């Protein structure tokens, strides 16, 4: 795989809203890692990641899963980790890891090259997600595993059911602005069928959801996303400045609670 294009070209061409150049990005990556790495690592262990494997991590972001993979396939294994903006990955400098500036929507991948291909919370943001998933499946060696993890916003806060749950206008505005940019908030739910349709075998899926309340990483994740989308949601007229400020402050309320969206992990093996 060669680096294709420059970072600024990739960012200009991509509709991705939560770009890694923002001041909120590092807080988002800390929160994503704290919220979701334990489950991701459990799945990777169950799939048998071991020394010597060749792995591909797509849209590696802050690099927490890339770091775990690199350590678990060392010394003979090899990891390629990609991103349209790999600024958080470049400082990793791990000997068995190659960081690639790469857009999964448009750039080619080597075929039949990897024992494992993983992505988390990337394809939901990519309008060409089905083509990208097919390319990721084609990058597997025979017997290799594809595992993708994506959101499914089917579980909403429901104050009618549980009065303490908060359904905020800013949360709805965030979903709306992301939808405008082609984000699929239910892609996680469709993964199982997509992997089967790609001809993978031993396909399975598991969803996990959390209660996000004061002090949990989910609150830090919401805060980073709200702050980064401030101009976009207010500019679009989806929420007023006053509502936004109130919802942002509400995240610090010790009484705040909401169920997280479901994060589906789906995996399958190339025959
Ligand atoms: C929400 S973050 C998730 C990061 C990491 N996978 C995790 O779960 O912690 C999405 C990441 O995907 C990257 N990304 C977005 N569109 C991409 C694309 N078309 N190709 C490759 N990476 C992309 C972003 O730059 C960002 O680093």
Residue range of the domain that includes 146: 7-152+183-209+261-269
Q: Is residue 254 part of a domain?
A: no
Measured between alpha carbons, how far is residue 169 from residues 3, 174, 216, 248 in Å? Answer: 40, 9, 21, 11
> Does residue 126 have its Cβ closer than 6 Å to ligand 1?
yes
Nearest CA to ligand 1 atom 20: 103
Locate 195 and state its tokens. Answer: 């992997």
What is the Cα–Cα distance from 206 to 243, expressed in whole angstroms? Answer: 35
The answer to the question of residue 161 being in a domain is no
Predicted confidence band of residue 233 (pLDDT cuts 50, 70, 90)? very high
- Domain assignment of residue 53, yes or no: yes
Q: Note whether residue 215 is domain-resident.
A: no
Q: How far is the CA of 170 from the centre of ligand 1 (A)?
A: 23
Number of structural domains in the chain: 1
Asked, for residue 42, whether it belongs to a domain, the answer is: yes
Distance, CA of 220 to CA of 205 (rounded, Å) = 27
Provide the CATH number for the domain around residue 59. 3.40.50.150
128 touches 105 (CB < 8 A): yes
Whole-model pTM over 0.75: yes
Task: Please answer whether residues 263 and 188 qualify as being in contact, where contact means their C-beta atoms are separated by less than 8 angstroms.
Answer: yes
Q: What residue has token string 């390629």?
A: 80
Q: What does DSSP assign to residue 125?
A: G
Residue with CA nearest ligand 1 atom 5? 61
Mutate to test the pocket of ligand 1, among 59, 131, 181 (most ligand atoms within 8 A of CB): 59
Segment 22-34 mean pLDDT: 96
237 assigned to some structural domain: no
Among candidate residues 3, 187, 21, the one with its CA nearest the CA of residue 102? 3
Bridge partners of 162? none
Rounded (5°) CA angle 197-137-90:
145
Residue 5 has pLDDT above 90, yes or no: no
pLDDT at position 94: 79
- 247 within some domain: no
What are the helix (H) ranges across the chain? 7-13, 25-46, 64-73, 129-138, 169-180, 187-197, 217-235, 241-250
Mean pLDDT along residues 215-242: 96
**C-alpha to C-alpha distance for 148 and 43, rounded to whole angstroms:** 10
Examine the pLDDT at 2 and tell me if it is beyond 60: no
pLDDT at 3 over 70: no
The packing angle between helices 217-235 and 241-250, to 10°, is 180
In a domain, 163, yes or no: no
Mean pLDDT of the residues in the chain: 94
pLDDT for the residue 64: 97
What is the rounded CA–CA span in Å between residue 76 and residue 60? 21
Q: Which atom of ligand 1 is nearest to the CA of 126?
A: 19
Confidence of residue 91 (pLDDT cuts 50, 70, 90): confident
């Amino acid at each position: 795989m060669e680096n294709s294009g420059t970072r600024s070209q990739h960012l200009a061409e991509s509709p991705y809203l939560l770009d890694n150049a923002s001041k909120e990005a590092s807080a988002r990556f800390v929160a994503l890692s704290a919220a979701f790495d334990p489950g991701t690592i459990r799945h990777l262990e169950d799939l048998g990641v071991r020394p010597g494997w060749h792995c591909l991590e797509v849209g590696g972001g802050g690099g927490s899963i890339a770091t775990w993979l690199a350590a678990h396939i060392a010394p003979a294994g090899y990891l390629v980790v990609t991103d349209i903006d790999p600024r958080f990955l470049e400082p990793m400098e791990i000997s068995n890891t190659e960081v690639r500036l790469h857009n999964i929507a448009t750039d080619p991948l080597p075929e039949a090259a990897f024992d494992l291909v993983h992505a988390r919370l990337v394809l939901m943001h990519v309008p060409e997600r089905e083509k990208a998933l097919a390319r990721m499946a084609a990058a597997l060696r025979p017997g290799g595993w594809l595992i993708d993890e994506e959101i499914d916003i089917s579980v909403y806060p429901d104050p009618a059911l549980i009065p303490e749950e908060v359904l905020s206008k800013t949360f709805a505005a965030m979903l709306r602005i992301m939808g405008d940019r082609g984000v699929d908030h239910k892609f996680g739910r469709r993964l199982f069928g997509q992997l089967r349709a790609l001809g993978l075998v031993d396909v399975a899926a598991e969803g996990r959801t959390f209660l996000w309340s004061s002090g949990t990483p989910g609150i830090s994740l919401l805060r980073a996303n709200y702050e980064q989308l401030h101009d976009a949601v207010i500019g679009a007229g989806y929420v007023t400045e006053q509502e936004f400020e109130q919802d942002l402050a509400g995240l610090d309320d010790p009484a705040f609670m909401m169920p997280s969206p479901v994060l589906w992990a789906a995996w399958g093996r190339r025959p």
